[in-house]
Amino acid sequence: MKNTLQQVIRVLKYSGNTLDDISDVELAKISDTNTKYLQRNRQSINEYFNTTVEPTADDIQYFERRSLQTFINISINQDGRFVYRNVLGAIAGYVLKREHKLLGHIHKITKIVKTGEKIVELMCLINSRKDTKKGTPIHSNNKSARYLLNDNKIAYIDKLFKRSNGYFAGNTSKKWRLTGLSEQILQQIIEIFFDNFNDICPANTETYSSICFQVKWTPLSLDVLRKQSVTTIMHILSMSIGYNQSTKCLIVSLEHTSSTDATLGRCYNVFSRIRSQERLDYGYIGYDISAGLQTICLQLIGASENDYPMLYSYSTDKAFKTSLRAAISDDLGIDVKDAKKKLTAFANGGISGKDKHPKYEQFQKESDRLRREVMAYVAEHNSWLLEQAKAQSRRTLPEDIDWFDLSPEDAQYMARNKASVFFFMWTYYERLIRKAMLQCLPDGIEVHDAVYSKMNVDTKEIEEVISECTGFKVIIDK
């Protein structure tokens, strides 16, 4: 019997496994044999397993190295351009199966790898929110979640994820959070990935990504990435399609990852999932549309300061906007960012918490009226956009809905559904503004209401181009 096979058997036995816990394919790959050899020597293998001694440190090291490489090789040979995403999944499968023994019921190595991929996809999705304390809504039809939950033995899922009992967001989603164990495993996956980076990144990946797959991408420094948060590392590696060895930069896809149409509104790329400071770490400068929603909507309907006194000042006076957020923050004892988040929610149709502060109440009241006026304006002057916004929102709306009715909706679900349509209305005009900004920032990456670029351009120049191209007079923050 080959010495390498004996090494693997010793480790398997004294790590609490049986020969039934590993497939012949995986055993052959790790021991550098083949399945025919294992079949011919089945009796000898079983006898050796029953009588073998404890493994040495060299045995354990050999087993771990060969086992990990076997998982990684399977992922590298898969189809698709996101090779690093596959590798992360393979490493996850290895860690869950071999180190944490959570996948003992799965023996086929390709299924272990696929399970790891689905777990990594869910981890990235859960961490796509900047605030994950309350959980991330995961739709009941999410492919990764359905794949895992269709497994007969799902006890390991509860060790990795905390799921809410009830459904949210229109009774279609539960909120998922990572457990302490899954956060630990996430850290392990990253460490193993970087420890094996040279083996994972073949020399031809730059050509593979930039020539074979014509997608918009940006180079991001590997050295910078190593210093960033685990969540950011996972997001960027998951969207990486190659590596330039001469510049030591990952080639990261900037493709739109949402089911919405990026040409009609917001683009959700990998830069949307990382923090502004982390974008700056790569040398990108953020050019934001100040109070974009209010600026666009007020100018669209030709509203005056008398019509919307608070929102008008909020969109035209940066000092007022700053002082409003600060005053709410001081009065309620909350962070300024939380005050800003609540105002943004009111602007997009939210009502929860409006009674906690008189300025909240005024802001919400004006925002509610403005939203309905904008929908009526679009219905009258741009029927094409109205239809596009309804299609993008994917909300259930009655065919006879009166878009010209400016009175508050009777039912909250109707207000929520119309607010979704409103979002796709005003972000269409926001997209026109960002397109104008790209004329000044040709290397720009669209992120929410901003464009990030490595070019240092005077904001006044950008504001003039926006005015010429779109007619909107906006303030660009830098």
Q: Which of 375, 373, 353, 378 is nearest to 363 (CA)?
A: 353
* Kind plus residue range of the DSSP H or E element containing 330: helix 318-332
Supply the pLDDT for residue 416.
86
- Rounded Cα distance, 230 and 234, in Å: 6
- Residues of the chain by 3-state class (helix, strand, coil), percent to 5: 60, 10, 30
3-class SS of residue 287: strand
Q: Which of 69, 111, 65, 102 is nearest to 87 (CA)?
A: 69
Q: Which amino acid is at 19?
A: L
Strands 161-163 and 173-178, sheet pairing: antiparallel
Specify whether the CB–CB gap between 231 and 284 falls below 8 A: no
Burial of 406 (0-12, 13-18, 19+ CB in 10 A): exposed
Per-residue pLDDT of the chain (478 residues; tens, 9 = 90+): 899 999 999 999 998 888 988 999 999 999 999 999 999 999 999 999 999 999 999 999 999 999 999 999 888 877 667 888 899 999 999 999 988 999 988 888 999 999 999 999 999 889 887 777 778 888 888 899 999 988 777 889 999 999 888 765 555 678 899 999 999 999 999 999 999 988 776 544 444 444 445 678 899 999 999 999 998 999 999 999 888 888 999 999 999 988 899 999 999 999 998 988 999 999 999 999 999 999 999 999 999 999 999 999 999 999 999 999 999 999 999 999 999 999 999 999 888 899 999 999 999 999 999 999 999 999 999 999 999 999 999 888 888 888 888 887 767 778 888 999 999 999 999 999 999 999 999 999 999 999 999 999 999 999 999 999 999 999 999 9
Supply the pLDDT for residue 168.
59
Burial track 350-375 (b if 16+ CB lie within 10 A, e otherwise): beeebeebebbebbbebbbbbbbbbb
Number of neighbours of residue 220 by Cβ within 10 angstroms: 23
Supply the pLDDT for residue 199.
79
- Rounded Cα distance, 299 and 137, in Å: 34
Supply the pLDDT for residue 332.
95
Supply the pLDDT for residue 288.
95
Number of neighbours of residue 226 by Cβ within 10 angstroms: 11
Strands (E) in 198-313, as ranges, are 217-221, 240-244, 249-253, 285-289
Q: Which of 33, 12, 14 is nearest to 22 (CA)?
A: 12
- Rounded Cα distance, 311 and 368, in Å: 11
Task: Provide the residue ranges of all domains of the chain, joining segments of one domain with +.
Answer: 1-55, 73-244, 288-477
φ/ψ of 13, rounded to 5, equals: -65, -45
Supply the pLDDT for residue 169.
52
